Amino acid sequence: MKYQVLVDFTDKETKHIYRKGDSYPVKGRTKKARLDELLSPDNLRGQPLVKEVGENAN
């Protein structure tokens, strides 16, 4: 799956700065638990930070 950043944030694990509209993750893969955290409001910001956009999104 591909994911798109909804709001600007700095990833607490990689320290990479993501901007609204960026693809997530910037490279490689991410752990399912981390992805679940970013997709839900169960994170430090209290809101979803990424959304699923499908396989062919850029």
Name the residue range of residue 35's domain: 2-54
Look at residue 44 and give its three-state secondary structure: coil
| pLDDT for 58 beyond 60 | no
Instruction: Give the C-alpha distances (Å, rounded to integers) separating 10 from 4, 39, 53, 55.
Output: 14, 15, 20, 24
Kindly report the average pLDDT of the chain as a whole number. Answer: 91
Give the number of domains in the chain.
1
pLDDT for res 56: 60
By 3-state DSSP, what share of the chain in percent is helix, strand and coil, each rounded to 5?
Answer: 15, 25, 60
| pLDDT for 16 beyond 80 | yes
